[in-house]
Chains A and B, each alone.
Chain A
């Protein structure tokens, strides 16, 4: 970790217009949950559903499956992609800095952003939906954190490897993670979303079945896969950064 790299990264990440989207996404989630809460106050049926499957469904479908990949896409690619595109990365590379420490620092900044704009709002949404600080809020926050870390590492790597990271990342997040990962049984085992749900399921414990949280993989498998993907992507990004070719205009 390098504090100067961290400060340069967070400045350039949070100083962009794109980052406004970071705010819109969690706001949308919170608005949706607040609405559900209001409706529950009017209708006892909805109240019952929120305590049952509806709340967790909302958190899984919007929080884990949409909010986290999109946030991580913006934060992960944004923490290094623009610098590579503009060429200002040269000011970091032309320094006696370990390339891995650059990548790890940038990943840490991305994760911090994802926690602030994703994990915390999801925890709050959990409290709002269920009406208490309990297993649902904590479980989904833990799952969101796991997803945010792994997604950020993958998208950061993508930004180091290709100039089209945002587009490719978006296609991956929407097609593979949201669609295939949500629906196709075999492919589910290879989805960060499902591994993160395994974390949620673990925290919920026995009540997971009643709440309709059923991950495609077990907790152990999920945790191992999350770790492998995160560490693997980070190490490979560091390696690629060592041999990164600076593009020039000519």
Chain B
């Protein structure tokens, strides 16, 4: 059982602040590190993996600082984001080399076990360069778990995987997490994270935006004010009718670029608004021509979490 502790960690590169005052506590189980690209997830993982020093604050594993201490890698396994490995080797030789670099007492047995865990035994005699993306990801996993580490860090492990490979890796992470390991993986896709992570830490623009159970995060995201842009047969009538609904907090009639008008609605409760809207329209004999949620991009969802 190991605990990664980040205490008021910041990291800047010149004038750019990549990570801003992040405090996190990562215990056993699978934690998802969620955030859009450029949110500072990789920087955070590099600090947890001991490759970057925090500009301020501290990153410790069971009380030990991680930076510049090769001994931590006895307890930490890292699956890097980049794909390059020693491509001219077979999967078996590469994992075995990793086991030997860890100076394990029985490297062959460890390599065999790790390769079996990621289900690559059949392809282990092939050169890594012939592997598919998913197979490469699995061999990377095998190298990271060959020494049976208490902490496993994975940087964007699902990138470029097909659904089947994704499912397989999710199962594997589940299994490893259930064994009491502290596992952190990063992703920019909420669905990916909520399927495996017991806990989610959300990063946005270098800041720690939210933290908790995936249900809480999901709730935070769905309950935020939603904006809709609506075109209808009678915009003014619709605007006044919609305003009467308790789930609506604001209505604006705006002229769009083509000279027509649209209704912009701000809804406080996403689900009751989408149920109420068609009823309201039919009651007043208004035809809805277009209902479009405005600004549903992941970035705006994350930004809401930060500014909340």
| Residues of chain A at the chain B interface (Cβ within 8 Å) | 2-5, 7-8, 11-12, 15, 86-88, 90-99, 242-246, 248-250
Contact = CB atoms under 8 A, between A and B. Distances in A.
Given A5-B101, A87-B80, A92-B101, A12 B88 contact: yes
Range, interface on chain B: 20 to 34
A2 B100 CA distance: 10
Given A94-B49, A250-B38, A8 B97 contact: yes
A244 B102 CA distance: 20
Contacts of B74: 96
Given A91-B98, A95-B98, A248-B42, 6 more contacts: A96-B73, A96-B102, A242-B68, A248-B80, A248-B155, A250-B42
A15 B146 CA distance: 26
Contacts of A12: 86, 88
Interface string B45-71: 010010111000000000000001011
Given A94-B49, A94-B73, A95-B73, A11 B88 contact: yes
B179 to A, nearest CB: 20
B287 to A, nearest CB: 46
For the complex of A and B, 5 pairs with smallest distance between CB atoms: A86-B84, A87-B82, A95-B101, A4-B100, A94-B78
Contact of B103 (A91, A96, A246): A96
Contacts of A250: 37-38, 42, 81
Contacts of A243: 53, 68
A95 B104 CA distance: 11
B68 A15 contact: no
B85 interface: yes
B196 interface: no
A88 B73 contact: no
A19 to B, nearest CB: 12
A91 to B, nearest CB: 6
A53 B98 CA distance: 53
B159 to A, nearest CB: 10
Contacts of B38: 250
Residue in A5, A88, A98 whose Cβ sees the most chain B Cβ within 10 Å:
A88
B97 A7 contact: yes
B20 interface: no
B137 interface: no
Given A92-B101, A95-B101, A96-B102, A8 B86 contact: yes
A245 B51 CA distance: 6
Contacts of A87: 80, 82, 84
B227 interface: no
Interface in B66-122: 68, 70-74, 76-78, 80-82, 84-86, 88-89, 97-98, 100-103
Interface in B109-154: 143
14 contacts: A3-B100, A4-B101, A8-B97, A11-B86, A12-B88, A15-B88, A86-B84, A88-B86, A96-B71, A97-B101, A245-B52, A246-B80, A248-B42, A249-B81
A8 B86 CA distance: 8
A90 B80 contact: yes
A244 B70 CA distance: 13
A95 B81 contact: no
A5 B97 CA distance: 9
Nearest to B51: A246
Contacts of A98: 70
A159 B74 CA distance: 28
Interface string B7-21: 000000000000000
A93 B51 contact: yes
Nearest to B153: A94
Contacts of A91: 85-86, 98, 101, 143
